[in-house]
Structure 1
Amino acid sequence: MSWFKREVKGIITTTEEKKEAPDGIWNKCPNCKKPLHYTEQVENQYVCHYCGYHLRIGSKEYFSILFDDNQYTEIFPHLRSGDPLNFTDTKKYTDRLKDTIAKTGLDDAIRAAHGKIGGLDIMIACMDFNFIGGSMGSVVGEKIARSIDYSIQNKVPFLMISKSGGARMMEAAFSLMQMAKTSAKLALLAQARVPYISLLTDPTTGGVTASYAMLGDINIAEPGSLIGFAGPRVIKETIKKDLPKGFQTAEFLQEHGFLDFIVDRREMKEKLSSFLGMMKN
C-alpha cells in the first residue's frame, strides 16, 4: 500500500519512524502569535524577538538572569503553608497545596536568595505565578519578612520581584495580615537606611500592589505589565465611568507617577547594577 509508506532511493520511511518535537521546545508568543523556539527564548531572556513581548517567567528564570553566573544561596527554602481555617471549596486546601507542590516543584509562591549583581551583594525575593496564581499567603509574607531581616542584619539591598493575583482566599485574614506585616518590615528596612527596589511584573494585582509592591525606594516595571488593585470591570462598575485606554498597564502608571522606570528585561541586570552602585555610594 504505497499510500502509507514512501520509497526514496531504496530507503523506506513510515509514519512510525517520525519523531515528535519534545514538549516545551516550541511555543507561541501570546501577543504576536509567532512561534518561539526554547533556545531563542533563553538567549533573549524570555522576550519575544519579534514584538518584544515579555513572557511570564518564574523565580528560577529571574535568578538565572540577575545573579552573577547564576550563583546564589537560597534561604528558608522549605517553608510551607498550613491550613488554619480547614478551608474546603471544590477541593480541600491541603490537597490543592500537595498537588501544586508536586506539579511545580515549588514549596510556595515565593523563593528568596542572596548573591551578587554586578559584583554587588543583594537579597532577592521573587514570586512564582505558577503556584496558585502567585497568591499571597502566610508563607509569602513570612519569607519576605525574613528576607528583609537578612538585609537589615547584613546591610544588603533588598529586591522584591512581584508577580501575583493578590491575596490567597484560602487563608482569609491570615493572608490579608501579610500586607501589614510586610509593610511594617519595610519601614524597619527604611529606618536602617538599607535600599529597597521593587520590580513589578505581569501581573501584579490585589493586596500585593496595595502593600510591598508599591513601597520601593525605586519602583520598576517590565514593559506592558498589568498592574492594579481591583480588575477593570469591578472598577468600571463601581465608578460608573469608562476607563481610559491602557488603564492598569505599566506605561499608564508611569505616566501618572506611580512608577519610576520601565525597564526591558534584557537590560534589567545592567540597570539594577547601576542603581545598586548609586545607592551604595
Structure 2
Amino acid sequence: MTDFDVVTRDHVLSAIAEHDERGVDAFLTVYGFGRTSEFLLHHEDTTYDATAILGVAYKHATGTAASRRRLGNGKHQVAEILQALDFETTYVDTTALAIDPATGEWRDVADVGAEEARDAWAEAARGVLIEVAGRYHALITHKELATQVQNLTGIRTKQMPHYWIGDVLTRVAADCDKRDEPLLAAFCITADGSVSSAYGPAVLTATGTAPDDADDHAAKERLKAHRHFDAADLPEGGGVPALSDKLAATRGRERKIRHQEREIAKCPVCYLQLPATGVCDNCA
C-alpha cells in the first residue's frame, strides 16, 4: 500500500471539499472509485467513501491520486490513517444488516416508497459493484449485495432479496448502458454460482438483445468491466472471461456425464468401437 505519511488533515479536507463540489457520482467516476462497502468517513453530518477520500487526499499532497490499485486491500489501514488525522470512520458489516446503517438511522421501504427505495438501492449497488469489478475475477452474491445496499442507504425491507434484487440489477444495467459501460450486474450471482433468471431480461431491457447463454454473456461482461474499471491484478494481455468456480465445476461434471452417456457405436462382429468412418478396422 502507498505510503500516506505525506497526507495531512488539510489534504483530506481538500479532498472532501472537492467531493462536495463535484458531487459524489462525478467524484467517484473521475478517480475510478466505487463506494466502499466497508469503511465510511463522517464529517460535518455527511458520510463519504473513506477509501476514495484518502486516495484523492493523496493527490492534494503529491499531485497524483492514489488509485484503487495502489490502495490495494488495505481498507483497515485506510480507516487507521484517517482516524490518526482525527476523522471519524465507521465499519459497515457486509454480511448482515447493521445496527446503525451508514446514514445513521433506518427507514423502512413503506416509509419512503418502493420506487424511491429501489432507485436508492440501485445507486448504492453501482458503487458496490464497481468495487467488485476492481478485483480480477471477484464476484458478489445476491444476498451479499442486498445486505450492503440496505446498510449503505439506510433503507431496509422485510422482503427476501429474490423478490426485488433483480429489479435493482435491471436498473443498474440500464444505467451502465446509458454510460456506455460494461454491465456491472454481471458480477452478481446466486448461491449456485450462476447469474439469476433476471439477468437475461435485464440485458434485453438495457441493450435490446437477449443473450443466448446468460452466464457466458456475464463472464464476458465481467472481463470488459475489469478492464474498464482498472481491476487490480489484471494479468498481462487483459485477462480472460471466467464463470464462477462453482458453475464451472457444475458444467464440467455435466459435460463428463454427457460424454459417459453417449452411445458408443460398436462393430456387430467383433464388438470393438467403430471409428468415425463407421467401418471396423479390425474386420474390414
Q: Same fold (TM over 0.5)?
A: no
The structure richer in helix per residue is 2
TM range (shorter): under 0.3
Structure showing greater Rg: 2
The structure richer in strand per residue is 1
Of structures 1 and 2, the one scoring higher in RCO (CA 8 A, sep 6+) is 2
